[in-house]
């Protein structure tokens, strides 16, 4: 059996792509930079300007604080405390940030029923992805774990704030929203510290703030899901987040079959939607993070139908057949490069 954990070994699923010939003038203050490991991924923070050092330190502190609240693998986190009290009728007191993240996860589950559910944790455990002890679960084990997936049985009261899980052995995993939620809080920390230009790379979730070092737009490369050393293209962004989900991020192989970690809540098996990756571009980091996972499960047609009903995000979809679909809002901002590797590009319109 072979295991592959791309999100740990090479976390930058979306990389900053520098402009040829663009760099900050020598007399400007060098950017302040930090790296930290949080939320099971390596994060890189870069802040420009005279307030950069204070801002990057504030962002780092905020990310570490949120990791302590939202991490499912930290036994002292509030999510772990909530999971430990599942089914006993206890309302577990929470910080407002934890309650907010749980509320958003519930809202996403209601928007995309069957494609997203933060109570998927028992199924993740059955597959062994949580502790990187991956294996094909026995049918009976998978059936029982799947029966525990029910976001309607997660109750959140933001007025206290507190939450509870109605059934024993249920558990929450905020992996599909935590980085986006944290990115939004880190942006606030940067702005509150007086800085206005930053690149916050939280693994597969990249947020850019203000002007880039070579102009008003940042250039962020979207990785080829079939070869991490190549790009599908480069998207120009400002004050936006690019979040990518794909089956290539974390997977294992057993008997010649690849099983990835993005689980379909309807079946309990890795999503088989015909997509290799989904990139969501939005000014809302939390929305981008959640939708990249949910729409990967939903598949191309459903993802585009959902996009046509909203105006707060754009999509880059890479299909298993070799087609890259870019929604029309990115038409002037996405430079396709996948033709060199056999991909074709199309534009989706409303």
What pLDDT, on the 0 to 100 scale, is given for residue 206? Answer: 97
Going by C-beta distance under 8 Å and a sequence separation of 6 or more, which residues neighbour residue 317? 275, 277, 278, 279, 295, 300, 303, 304, 324, 325, 326
Residue 194 located in a structural domain: no
Flag whether 9 is in a domain: yes
46 confidence band (pLDDT: 50, 70, 90): very high
| Per-residue pLDDT, 22 | 36
Residue where a domain terminates, one of 143, 165, 187? 165
For 196-235, what is each residue's pLDDT tens digit? 999 999 998 999 999 988 889 999 999 999 998 999 999 9
Q: Is the domain of 75 the same as that of 27?
A: no
pLDDT band for position 188 (cuts 50, 70, 90): very high
Task: Answer whether 0.75 is exceeded by the pTM.
Answer: yes
Q: Is the pLDDT of residue 25 over 50?
A: no
119 in a domain, yes or no? yes
Residue 21 in this model has a pLDDT that exceeds 70: no
Instruction: Provide the pLDDT for residue 285.
Output: 98
pLDDT at residue 280 tops 90: yes
Across the range 154-167, mean pLDDT stands at 97
**What is the pLDDT of the chain when averaged over all its residues?**
92
Give the pLDDT band of residue 28 (cuts 50, 70, 90). Answer: low
Q: Which domain does 271 fall in, by range?
A: 2-31+209-348
* 199: enclosing H helix or E strand: strand 197-202
Instruction: Say yes or no to pLDDT of 7 above 60.
Output: no
Asked whether residue 56 is assigned to any structural domain, the reply reads no
The predicted-structure confidence for 110-136, as pLDDT tens digits, reads as follows 999 999 999 999 999 999 998 888 999
If asked whether residues 246 and 340 sit together in one domain, one would say yes
CB 231 within 8 A of CB 337: yes
Indicate if 14 and 75 belong to the same structural domain: no
From 165, 195, 229, give the residue that closes a domain: 165
């Amino acid at each position: 059996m072979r295991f592959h954990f791309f999100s740990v070994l090479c976390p930058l699923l979306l990389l900053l792509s520098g402009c040829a010939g663009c760099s900050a003038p020598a007399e400007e203050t060098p950017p302040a930079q930090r790296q930290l490991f949080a939320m099971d991924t390596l994060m890189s923070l870069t802040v420009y300007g005279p307030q950069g050092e204070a801002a990057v330190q504030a962002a780092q502190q905020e990310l570490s604080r949120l990791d302590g609240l939202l991490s499912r693998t930290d036994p002292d986190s509030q999510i772990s405390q909530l999971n430990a009290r599942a089914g006993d009728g206890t309302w577990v007191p929470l910080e407002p940030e934890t309650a907010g993240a749980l509320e958003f996860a519930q809202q996403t589950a209601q928007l995309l029923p069957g494609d997203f559910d933060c109570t998927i944790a028992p199924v993740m455990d059955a597959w062994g992805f949580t502790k990187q002890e991956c294996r094909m679960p026995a049918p009976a084990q998978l059936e029982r774990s799947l029966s525990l997936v029910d976001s309607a049985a997660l109750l959140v009261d933001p007025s206290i704030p507190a939450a509870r899980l109605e059934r024993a052995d249920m558990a929450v995993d905020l992996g599909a929203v935590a980085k986006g939620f944290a990115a939004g809080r880190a942006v606030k920390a940067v702005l509150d510290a007086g800085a206005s230009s930053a690149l916050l790379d939280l693994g597969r979730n990249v947020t850019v703030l203000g002007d880039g070092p070579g102009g008003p737009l940042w250039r962020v490369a979207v990785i080829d899901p079939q070869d991490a050393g190549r790009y599908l293209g480069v998207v120009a962004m400002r004050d936006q987040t690019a979040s990518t989900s794909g089956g290539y991020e974390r997977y294992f192989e057993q008997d010649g079959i690849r099983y990835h970690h993005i689980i379909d809540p309807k079946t309990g098996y890795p999503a088989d939607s015909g997509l290799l990756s989904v990139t969501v571009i939005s000014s809302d980091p939390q929305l981008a993070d959640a939708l990249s996972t949910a729409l990967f499960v939903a598949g191309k047609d459903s993802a585009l139908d959902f996009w046509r009903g909203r105006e707060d995000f754009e999509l880059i979809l890479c299909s298993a057949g070799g087609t890259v679909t870019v929604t029309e809002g990115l038409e002037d901002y996405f430079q396709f490069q996948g033709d060199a590797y056999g991909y074709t590009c199309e534009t989706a319109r409303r």
